[in-house]
Structure 1
């Protein structure tokens, strides 16, 4: 099973079927918080749904085409992070994430994204990583901004969120920029 140790408090752990109840409980407990920016929350109504979703995520990982992992903070599931599909020809991917409301303000997501950026550039040998965030989602946007991503633009009406479209800010980071920032 894939696990990426971030530091003494944090690790990213590939979701397995036995995590379905725990993942649903996190989403359900944070439903109002998460639904503001995530269009899939209202359709997540039972842990049983993850019995078909998690195998798709595991196949994605086995096919070397990204993954979804739990963010474990001091052993507790705090959120989720993953690489969306990997474009191996162009050596690029995008990162998606969410964090339970009670885990905010501890640097959990910044450290998790930083670890995933390192993994993507140094282990997978990718050249470009993208993060898309709702333009009004200042907490989510702070992550790529804090880590040195460049805001490359705004995609208008890029995502349908329950009853309306909203714009997404696109952030990009190149291997050479990340490598230079580590010197």
Structure 2
């Protein structure tokens, strides 16, 4: 297991099936703020579903097709980052994020994404990273901008969350852009 220090009191660590009870408590706290953007927030409703969700990502990590990490602030799970897709054959991946409202504004998501992007591009050879978010999700779009991603367009009514189909923004980052970013 690894832990990456994000700030003096925050760290990024693997989020594993053994964290199911803690993950469920976190989702219950964050649900109202994230459910309109993150479909799994509606299906992680008990410890069994939390464990199943985390096990699916453990299986994806074992198959090298995805992964999930948690962000702990002061010892409390407050959010996370994940590779929803990870395809070495094509050199592509999609990153996703979420965070408790009370943990926002501390740079945790931006820093955690920097760690994951450094790993994906620098160590695994990913060439294209995608970021997708609802057109209404201003905090997510702000992180994409801070990371230097390029806005590619909008997929209309492409993202069903419950009965509502949301427009989905697509952002991307290419390896050469990340490797030559001026703020590295």
What is the TM-score normalised by the length of structure 2?
A: 0.92
Distance 2:91 2:4 in 1: 21
Partner of 1:22: 22
Distance 2:95 2:23 in 1: 19
Partner of 2:140: 140
- Contact 2:130–2:173 (Cα < 8 Å) also in 1: yes
Displacement of 1:152 in angstroms is 0.7
Distance 2:51 2:117 in 1: 29
Partner of 1:103: 103
Partner of 1:75: 75
Q: Which runs of 5+ in 2 are unaligned?
A: none
Displacement of 1:116 in angstroms is 1.0
SS at match of 2:159: strand
CA RMSD of aligned residues (A): 1.6
Residues 56 and 36 of structure 1: is their aligned pair in 2 closer, same or farther, counting only changes over 3 Å? closer
Distance 1:104 1:27 in 2: 15
Partner of 1:87: 87
Distance 1:63 1:5 in 2: 26
Displacement of 1:128 in angstroms is 1.0
Which structure 2 residues correspond to residues 163-178 of structure 1 after superposition, within 5 A?
A: 163-178=163-178
Partner of 2:40: 40
Deviations 1:93-142 (A, max 9, x none): 01011001110111111111111111111111211110001001001110
SS at match of 2:57: helix
Of stretches 143-152 and 3-12 in structure 1, the one that deviates more from structure 2 is 3-12
Number of residue pairs aligned between Structure 1 and Structure 2: 183
Displacement of 1:7 in angstroms is 4.6
Distance 2:33 2:73 in 1: 19
Partner of 1:154: 154
Q: Which runs of 5+ in 1 are unaligned?
A: none
SS at match of 1:181: coil
Distance 1:4 1:29 in 2: 24
